[in-house]
Amino acid sequence: MLKSNEGGRGGILLLVLASVVASGAEANQDTKALSSLQSLASGLNSTNPASRFYAVDALGKIGGSETVDPLAKALHDPDACVRIAAAKALGRSTDPAAMTALVDILKAEKDADVWSMASKPLLDQDLPQSQSY
């Protein structure tokens, strides 16, 4: 899992790109930030699991509803470390679609670590208090 012969340059580049996107996103829908977000999402198509992991990690740090779809797709990555990172990122989201994606992956996920990370935010939610009579 997550073996890379490219060194850490790809991951560092993705993290720098994530910080640029985050600062651009704070400046309210900057077109460059949106383009950079799309570039990060395209990193999920890399053949290198480490690059996909760093892309997921960066998208998770950016957050926002724009990142939910690419992170939900990353829940189906062949590498368990990428799926764990995607589940962790989605678990921090306040977007209801993120919780839906986590529930959906629990139905098919076989890796115990991924399953645990995907279920944790669902278990941590505040449940409605039952009324005493």
For 8-67, the pLDDT digits (tens) are: 555 555 555 555 555 544 444 556 566 778 888 889 999 999 999 999 999 999 999 999
Could you tell me which residues come within 8 angstroms of residue 33 by beta carbon, excluding any fewer than 6 positions away?
Answer: 20, 21, 23, 24, 25, 27
State if pTM tops 0.75: no
Does the pLDDT at position 6 exceed 80?
no
Quote the radius of gyration of the chain (alpha carbons, Å).
Answer: 16
The torsion of the CA quartet 107, 113, 119, 124, rounded to 10 degrees, works out to 180
Would you state the structure tokens that stand for residue 89, as one six-digit string? 């990122």
Does the pLDDT at position 4 exceed 50?
no
Residue with tokens 């950016």: 62
- Going along the chain from its start, the domains and CATH numbers come out as 9-124 (1.25.10.10)
Residue with tokens 């060194």: 7
pLDDT at 77: 97
Task: State how far the Cα of 121 lies from the Cα of 125, in Å rounded to an integer.
Answer: 6
Residue 107 — very low, low, confident or very high, per pLDDT cuts 50/70/90?
Answer: very high
For 73-104, the pLDDT digits (tens) are: 999 999 999 999 999 999 999 999 999 999 99
